[in-house]
Structure 1
Amino acid sequence: MKIVVLAGGISTEREVSLVSGTGVCRALRKNGHRAILVDLFLGLEQVPADLDTLFDAPDGLCADVRVRAQAPDLEAVRRSRPDQSPSHIGPHVLEVCAAADIVFLGLHGMDGEDGRIQAALDLLGVPYTGSGHLASAAAMDKAVAKRLMDAADIPTPKWRLLEYGPEEAESLAAELPMPCVVKTIGGGSSLGVYLPEDRAQLRTALNEVLGFGGKVLAEERIYGRELTVAVLGDQWLPAVETVPAGKEFDYAAKYQAGAAVETCPAQVPPEVMEAAGDLALRVHRCLGLEVYSRTDMILDESGKLWVLEANSLPGMTPTSFVPKEAAAVGISYEQLCQRIVDLSMQIKRRG
Structure 2
Amino acid sequence: MKIVVLAGGLSPERNVSLSSGAMVTEALRSRGHQAALVDMYFGLEGWSGPPEALYAAPVPEAWRRIASQAPDLEAVEKSRRWPGRGQFGPGALELCAGADAVFLALHGACGEDGRVQAALDLAGIPYTGSGHLGSAIAMDKDLTKRLCAQAGIRTPAWRTLRYTAGDIPALCGELPLPAVVKPMDGGSSIGVSIVHSREGLSAALEEGLLSGGRAVVEHYIQGREIQVGVLEDRALPAIEIRPRGSFYDYENKYRPGAAEEICPAPVPEELERRLEETALAVHRLVGLTVYSRSDFIVDGAGEIWFLEINTLPGMTPTSLLPQEAAAAGISYGELCERILTASLAARAR
What SS class does the counterpart of residue 215 from structure 2 fall into?
strand
Offset, 1:49:
9.2
Question: CA offset at residue 58 of structure 1?
Answer: 2.8
- Name the CA distance, whole Å, in 1 between partners of 2:49 and 2:11: 31
The answer to which of 23-32 and 65-74 deviates more is 65-74
C-alpha distance 50-42 of structure 1, shift in aligned 2 (>3 A): closer
Contact 1:109 1:187 in 2 (8 A): yes
Amino acid at match of 1:89: F
Cα distance in 2 for residues equivalent to 1:4 and 1:99: 9
Q: Distance in 2 between matches of 1:336 and 1:62?
A: 22
- Equivalent position amino acid for 2:26 in 1: R
Q: What amino acid is the match of 1:64?
A: A
Equivalences for residues 249-288 of structure 1 within 5 A? 249-288=248-287
User: Residue 132 of structure 1 aligns with which residue?
Assistant: 131
Aligned-pair CA distance for 1:213: 2.1
What is the identity, as a one-letter code, of the residue corresponding to 1:285? R
- The reply on whether 1:119 has 2:118 as its aligned counterpart is yes
| Counterpart residue identity of residue 330, structure 1 | G
Which residue of the partner structure matches residue 20 of structure 1?
Answer: 20
Query: Counterparts of 1:62 and 1:326 in 2: how far apart (Å)?
Result: 26
1:54 CA drift (Å): 3.0
1:301-333 residue CA offsets vs partner (Å, 9 max, x unmatched): 010000000000000001100000000011000
Aligned positions of 1:321-336 closer than 5 A: 321-336=320-335
Amino acid in structure 2 at the alignment position of 1:45 = E
Alignment of 1:72-151 (within 5 A): 72-151=71-150
- How far apart, in 1, do the equivalents of 2:295 and 2:50 lie? 44
Instruction: State the superposition RMSD in angstroms.
Output: 1.3
**Counterpart contact for 2:208–2:214, Cα < 8 Å:** no
Q: Secondary structure at the match of 2:217?
A: strand
Question: In 2, distance between residues paired with 1:49 and 1:248?
Answer: 45
Determine whether 1:64 maps to 2:71.
Answer: no
C-alpha contact 2:291 2:311 (8 A) present in aligned 1: yes
Tell me what 1:202 maps to.
Answer: 201
TM-score, normalising length: structure 2? 0.97
Aligned-partner residue type, residue 19 of structure 2: V
| Partner deviation per Cα, 1:6-43 (whole Å, 9 max, x = no partner) | 00001000000000000000000000000010101011
1:209 to partner: Cα distance = 1.1
- Deviation, 1:55, is 5.0
**Is the CA contact 2:233–2:280 (under 8 Å) kept in the aligned structure 1?**
yes
Q: Distance in 1 between matches of 2:112 and 2:29?
A: 24
1:133-212 alignment runs, 5 A limit: 133-212=132-211
Contact 1:104–1:341 (CA<8 Å) still a contact in 2? yes
User: Residues of 2 paired with 1:36 and 1:99: CA distance?
Assistant: 11
Matches of 2:53 and 2:116, distance apart in 1: 22
Structure 2 letter corresponding to 1:31: R
Cα distance in structure 2, aligned partners of 1:162 and 1:316? 31
1:138 positional shift: 0.4
What letter corresponds to residue 280 of structure 2 in structure 1? L
Q: In the aligned structure 1, how far is the partner of 2:290 from the partner of 2:101?
A: 14
Aligned 8 A contact 1:180 1:220 in 2 = yes
Q: How many residues align?
A: 348
Question: Which whole-Å deviations, capped at 9, do the CAs of 1:51-108 have from their partners, x for residues lacking one?
Answer: 5x3354233x544321111111112211211113322211101100000100000000
SS at match of 1:153: coil
Q: Distance in 1 between matches of 2:30 and 2:60?
A: 13
Counterpart contact for 1:47–1:92, Cα < 8 Å: no
| 1:7 and 2:7 correspond | yes
Runs of 4 or more above 4 Å deviation: 46-51
Compared CA separation, residues 76 and 49, structure 1 to 2 (3 A): closer
Q: Matches of 1:56 and 1:141 in 2, distance apart?
A: 35
Question: How do 1:275-314 and structure 2 match up within 5 A?
Answer: 275-314=274-313
SS at match of 1:111: helix
Letter in 1 for 2:62: D
Superposed CA deviations along residues 192-225 of structure 1, whole A, max 9, x for unmatched, are 1111111110111111112112321111111100
Q: Please report the TM-score for the alignment, with normalisation by the length of structure 1.
A: 0.96
Whole-Å Cα distance in 2 between the matches of residues 329 and 165 of structure 1? 47
Distance in 2 of aligned mates of 1:48 and 1:42: 14
- AA aligned to 2:262 is T
